[in-house]
């Protein structure tokens, strides 16, 4: 090898070595950013969208239930002034968590609080007009709907309703209910209607136990009242603190509830097209429970949903139509006010399949996809 060839070879080796080091350094930096920045952000987004939030106002404890790992943590939310009747809701698809409503000791209007889990702090938003508890709550399309409940100044049930815009941080009044009710369950359906099922109603007012109310999202401001409807067939045995979840484009599942110091494991299927309510004795909750807050999420496959009750965290599998328990709710730590017995020895109805056959009702596939497409 000549002198020039040796120099060329040495220069090439040095250059190659330098380039290798640069490549290694670049890969290390990229890897460091990937593992320290990109992956945590991705994991945070995925985990946050698959969590259930359950709040206990009197203890100011927030329960965070991670669906993927079944891991529960508790955080003390000390800034919230309200001490009773607050609710927590996680809006979808924004994945923003809000604590709202409740009564305050000095009767001042409570504030809306947003929980920023990433920064582990509460952010104060606008104040409500006055304290309100036991209201129906649902989120849809950037709004949180607050329906009925009890107002703090009078401590009486109300027909008034409002919605909170999470983007503009503003409230606006919407159409009112036909009947005063508190403890009702709300359900967004097909992106068109908002349903209100059940709820306590004043005993001095005559009403049908088979009635519910609904309103179109497009008519929230133009209408004066909600639409008051009665089931053509069926009656809810327990109306208070039930929960309702859309199964598909024509059916809503209604389950659980509380009445007269009893909790229920009942499950009903409401067919929107036929306006019939059928009790499904083949698919009861594993454990009786009632639902004070709107804490439901759907899995990525949309074949299952998970919901937190006052006692347990429940999962419903739409493929096999079965319930199972995933754990206990935070209220188990503070059940002195809700130590209820399970309703027993009740008349057994025909199975859902038999009822559908008797009414020439064609069974539909249990799929959540069409309800949220």
Confidence of residue 360 (pLDDT cuts 50, 70, 90): very low
Q: What is the rounded distance in angstroms from the CA atom of residue 196 to the CA atom of residue 230? A: 12
- DSSP conformational letter for 351: P
d(Cα 138, Cα 144) in Å, to the nearest integer? Answer: 6
- The CA distance from 350 to 347, in Å, is 10
Which range is least confidently modeled, 89-98, 141-150, 332-341?
Answer: 332-341
Residue 341 confidence (pLDDT): 76
**DSSP H or E segment with residue 322:** strand 322-328
**Residues present in the chain in total:** 373
Find, among 180, 181, 176, 178, the residue nearest to 163 by Cα. Answer: 176
Highest mean pLDDT among 88-102, 134-148, 256-270, 306-320: 134-148
Is residue 150 exposed (0-12), middle (13-18) or buried (19+ Cβ within 10 Å)? buried
User: What one-character-per-residue DSSP string does 54-107 give?
Assistant: EEETTTTEEEEEETTTTEEEEEE--S----EEEEEEEETTTTEEEEEEEE-TT-
Category of 53 on φ-ψ map: left (φ > 0), alpha (ψ -120 to 50) or beta: beta
Q: What pLDDT is stored for residue 268 in this prediction?
A: 93
- pLDDT for residue 137 is more than 60: yes
The region of weakest confidence among 3-12, 172-181, 193-202, 317-326 is 3-12
Q: What kind and span of H or E run contains 137?
A: strand 136-140
Please spell the DSSP secondary structure of 145-202, one letter per residue: EEES-EETTTTEE---EEEEETTTTEEEEEPBPSS--BS-EEEEETTTEEEEE--B--
Q: What letter does residue 346 receive in the DSSP assignment?
A: P
Extract the tokens encoding 107. Answer: 């009767």
| Chain segment 275-304, per-residue pLDDT in tens | 998 999 889 999 999 998 888 888 766 688
Q: Which two tokens stand for residue 182?
A: 């508190």
Question: What percentage of residues in the chain have a pLDDT greater than 70?
Answer: 68
Nearest-angstrom CA–CA distance, 160 and 149: 8
Between β-strands 136-140 and 143-147, what pairing exists: parallel, antiparallel or unpaired? antiparallel
pTM of the shown model: 0.79
CA 157 to centroid of chain Cα atoms: 23
Tokens of 219: 């008519």
């Amino acid at each position: 090898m000549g002198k020039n060839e040796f120099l060329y070879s040495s220069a090439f080796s040095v250059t190659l070595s330098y380039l290798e080091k640069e490549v290694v350094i670049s890969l290390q930096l990229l890897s460091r950013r990937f593992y320290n920045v990109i992956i945590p952000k991705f994991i945070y987004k995925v985990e946050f969208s698959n969590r259930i939030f359950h709040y206990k106002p009197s203890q100011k404890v927030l329960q965070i239930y991670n669906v993927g790992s079944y891991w529960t943590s508790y955080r003390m939310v000390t800034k919230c002034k309200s001490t009773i009747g607050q609710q927590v809701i996680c809006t979808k698809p924004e994945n923003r968590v809000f604590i709202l409503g409740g009564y305050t000791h000095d009767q001042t209007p409570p504030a809306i609080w947003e929980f920023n889990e990433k920064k582990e702090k509460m952010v104060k938003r606008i104040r409500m007009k006055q304290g309100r508890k036991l209201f129906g709550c649902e989120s849809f399309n950037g709004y949180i709907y607050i329906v009925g409940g009890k107002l703090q100044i009078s401590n009486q049930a109300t027909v008034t309703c409002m919605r909170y815009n999470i983007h503009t941080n503003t409230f606006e009044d919407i159409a009112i209910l036909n009947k005063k009710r508190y403890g009702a369950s709300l359900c967004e359906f097909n992106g068109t209607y908002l349903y209100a099922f059940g709820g306590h109603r004043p005993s001095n007012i005559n009403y049908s136990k088979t009635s519910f109310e609904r309103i179109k999202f497009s008519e929230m401001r133009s209408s004066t009242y909600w639409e008051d409807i009665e089931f053509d067939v069926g009656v809810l045995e327990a109306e208070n603190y039930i929960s309702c979840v859309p199964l598909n484009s024509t059916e809503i599942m209604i389950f659980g509830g509380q009445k007269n110091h009893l909790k229920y494991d009942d499950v009903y299927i409401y067919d929107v097209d036929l306006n019939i309510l059928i009790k499904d004795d083949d698919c009861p909750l594993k454990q009786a429970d009632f639902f004070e807050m709107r804490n439901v999420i759907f899995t990525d496959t949309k074949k299952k949903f998970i919901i937190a009750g006052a006692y347990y965290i429940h999962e419903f599998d739409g493929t096999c139509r079965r319930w199972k328990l995933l754990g206990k709710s935070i209220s188990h730590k503070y059940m002195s006010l809700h130590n209820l017995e399970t309703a027993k020895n009740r008349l057994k109805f025909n199975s859902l399949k038999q009822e559908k056959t008797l009414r020439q009702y064609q069974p539909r596939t249990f799929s959540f996809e069409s309800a949220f497409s």
